[in-house]
Structure 1
Amino acid sequence: MSTREVPTPPPSASQIDRAEGVLLTQACGDALGVPWELGHRPADGGCGSRPGEAHMQGGGLGPYSPGEWSDDTQMAVIIARVAATGADLTSRPALDAVADGFIDWYESAASDIGAQTRAVLGAVAHHRGEPDVSARMRRAACDYHKTSGGRSAGNGALMRNGVIGLTRLRDPRATALAARAVAALTHADPLAADSCVIQAEMIRANVAGPAWQGLPLNGANPLAALALVPEERRAYWHDLFDGGVYDPMNWDWPGLPATDGFTVDALGKAYLSFISANRAAASMPATFHENRAEAGSTWLRLILTRAVHSSDDSDTVAAIAGAVAGSYLGACAVPSEWADKVHGLPTGEDGEPLHAADLRELGRATALAGLT
């Protein structure tokens, strides 16, 4: 008896919008956070928490122009350009392409770069273009891990990871393997890879699932992704989000870790930004949910405001939260004043910075390529 493969339906318009929202909303969070990074404090204390307030002020470590995203989104674009071809991000050719892109960025367009990523890329930059450059990069990451005493779980892999959630929308395991493989290029600590797997699965599940119905946000549930984490570390992650420091009950706890260079803290604070947004929305008038487009935009502002103001590495935490929020609320939730202003490197084929439309296209192309 023969069997016939049943064709899967194409993505809906809502799913396409959510795929387009991942990189775009990450970039918006990134650009909102740059003036606040590592103790920088702009003169104007807002960051767009209310409609009409688009405080993409620039400055920070770049220094960046208003609306310009930082290294978080720059590196994400490099991954997206490879992923949008449909390449298997666990394969050597694809990983070599990503590694070469990282090296090109390191030697030219990097406006800001973390110490760990700088050390790893600097160690292998002269191997750019070689067929085993990704393997060399992984070895350099392992060397860094050893010399750091086995503690190299910086947030530099997680900050660029969101788009990987779009690469295989119907396959959680393939998505997790890709997140782990790309993380390992620069971060050998298993916790760094775990955090990327958790974020990628939240994004994949959001885009593959039904459209947001205007109800309280549940699009950031790290506990639902733990089956993809190795069994020996599941309890560690579970306890963090259920009874631990990043339990939802601690949504406004002043005892959160002061810094977020550790990938666990960056993911935890990004997650709590959703819980905080739900708390804030609970006090909104009953008419808040009647206009779904306006409600989505307001919810996005609440998420990114919390992410920026609760963190030390504000652009990174807001970028991490933004990628997840975009996968749930969609590009349609991005306020027009943000979409009009956001831009950054690396440049496009015309030599000009990328803009919102370019990020939407990369997200859409990545999602569709992974389905075919």
Structure 2
Amino acid sequence: MNFMLNKIKGALFGFAIGDALGGTTEFLTKDEIKKRYGYVKEIIGGGCWNLAKGETTDDTAMTLAVARGILKNPAEAVEAIGEEFLKWYASGPKDVGIIISTVLRHFNDGNWFETAKKAHYEYLGEMTAGNGSLMRCLPIALAYKDIEEVEAITRKQSKMTHYDSKADEACIIYNRVAYHVLHGKDLKEAIRDEIKGTIYDLALNGETPTCPPSGFVVHTMHWVLYWLLNSDSYLDVVIGATNEGDDSDTIAAIAGGLAGLACGYDRLPREYVDVLLEKDEIERVSTQLGRESGA
């Protein structure tokens, strides 16, 4: 397996493992996790969505939808990604975030950006800075060779559902880090370079965030950065995020995507990869993204 494909597979499998782990503890507090599970180190399913062992959530589903949309039409990705979103929504998934479900439910005029704007002002009380676009944006950094194109498409895919600029700003920082790591930069170095001078540079002090690990994109990003900058291995990242609770599936997935990208597929623990119910689809999409990126 060549260098780039190893990185791409590491990113998507690393993401899905974090999602499957964190899905067990989502919406629980740290104390509730301890009482119910002790300390979650394995993919066991269950949780609020009654997941099967190895089942992932909307985080992985929407990430794969973004990837499939890009693969379908990389030149006009927004339209193709939107088609994948609507197909997924029509399948009746267990979990769809409030912001995303509102936009998908009201999408009927062919314009994602206008629908997201309308949802922001008319239905969601101008509260669209959730982490739902951050959780799905990683395939863009894996597919495109030019960083300016990565940034432009990353912003557009966020604006499809999340009108608040805090959401797309987080996505761009995240995908800039991913792009540089994919092209050989050290993960922690890339993070430090990209967050310096931003609202996230508090993460550079290494202290535990004072905000909850919630679905507000700024809170999510703070916790993602914390785990990535203060962990020594892939499993430290995803298991740490899993046992923090609250929006643990999304934080473990987002952090796990970058951690898996950094270590590569060949260094992910096989027992976690093999238990994933969607491993064949993740393998297929990863391989196709590798071809798209020239791997």
Q: With structure 2 as the length reference, what TM-score do the two structures score?
A: 0.90
The answer to whether the aligner puts 1:161 opposite 2:130 as a matched pair is: no
Answer whether contact 1:34 1:58 (CA < 8 A) is retained.
Answer: yes
* Partner deviation per Cα, 1:235-265 (whole Å, 9 max, x = no partner): xx834333x3x33331x35xx2124211111
The answer to whether the aligner puts 1:241 opposite 2:200 as a matched pair is: yes
Equivalent position of 2:217 in the other structure: 263
Instruction: Give 2:90's match in structure 1, choosing from 107, 112, 126.
Output: 107
Runs of 4+ off more than 6 Å: none
Answer whether contact 2:70 2:80 (CA < 8 A) is retained.
Answer: no
Q: Is the alpha carbon distance of 1:224 and 1:363 closer, same or farther for their aligned partners in structure 2, counting shifts above 3 Å? A: farther
Instruction: Give 1:120's match in structure 2, choosing from 90, 95, 103.
Output: 103
Answer whether contact 2:44 2:53 (CA < 8 A) is retained.
Answer: yes
Structure 2 CA distance for aligned equivalents of residues 302 and 259 of structure 1: 17
Instruction: Give 1:274's match in structure 2, choosing from 224, 228, 246.
Output: 228
Equivalent position of 1:224 in the other structure: 193
* Partner deviation per Cα, 1:307-352 (whole Å, 9 max, x = no partner): 2223410000001001111111111122111111012xxxxxxxxx
Letter matched to residue 176 of structure 1: E
Equivalent position of 2:119 in the other structure: 144
Q: Is the alpha carbon distance of 1:257 and 1:182 closer, same or farther for their aligned partners in structure 2, counting shifts above 3 Å? A: same
Question: Equivalences for 1:1-372 in 2 at 5 Å?
Answer: 13-39=2-28, 41=32, 43-48=36-41, 55-85=42-72, 87-88=74-75, 91=76, 94-124=77-107, 127=108, 133=110, 135=111, 137-147=112-122, 148-168=124-144, 170-209=145-184, 218=188, 221=191, 223-225=192-194, 238-242=197-201, 244=202, 246-250=203-207, 252=208, 256-278=210-232, 299-343=233-277, 354-355=278-279, 357-371=280-294
Structure 1 CA distance for aligned equivalents of residues 177 and 260 of structure 2: 11
In structure 1, stretches of 5+ residues that fail to align are 1-11, 49-54, 227-236, 279-298, 344-353
Structure 1 CA distance for aligned equivalents of residues 101 and 163 of structure 2: 14
Answer whether contact 1:61 1:112 (CA < 8 A) is retained.
Answer: no
Answer whether contact 2:70 2:81 (CA < 8 A) is retained.
Answer: no
Structure 2 CA distance for aligned equivalents of residues 96 and 85 of structure 1: 10
Answer whether contact 1:120 1:186 (CA < 8 A) is retained.
Answer: yes
How much does 1:175 deviate? 0.5
How much does 1:61 deviate? 3.2
Q: With structure 1 as the length reference, what TM-score do the two structures score?
A: 0.72
SS at match of 1:267: helix
Letter matched to residue 186 of structure 1: T
* Partner deviation per Cα, 1:169-222 (whole Å, 9 max, x = no partner): x31111011111111111111111111111111111111116x7xxxx62650x
Q: Is the alpha carbon distance of 1:369 and 1:121 closer, same or farther for their aligned partners in structure 2, counting shifts above 3 Å? A: same
Answer whether contact 1:163 1:363 (CA < 8 A) is retained.
Answer: no
How much does 1:150 deviate? 3.4
* Partner deviation per Cα, 1:44-99 (whole Å, 9 max, x = no partner): 22332xxxxxx1111223221011110000011111112234613xx3xx322211
How much does 1:275 deviate? 2.2
Structure 1 CA distance for aligned equivalents of residues 163 and 17 of structure 2: 28
Letter matched to residue 264 of structure 2: G
SS at match of 2:52: coil
SS at match of 1:36: coil
Larger radius of gyration: 1
| More helix by percentage | 2
Aligned-residue sequence identity (percent) comes to 26
Structure 2 CA distance for aligned equivalents of residues 16 and 371 of structure 1: 9
Answer whether contact 2:212 2:219 (CA < 8 A) is retained.
Answer: no
How much does 1:105 deviate? 1.1
How much does 1:149 deviate? 4.4
The alignment's C-alpha RMSD in Å is 2.2
Equivalent position of 1:351 in the other structure: none
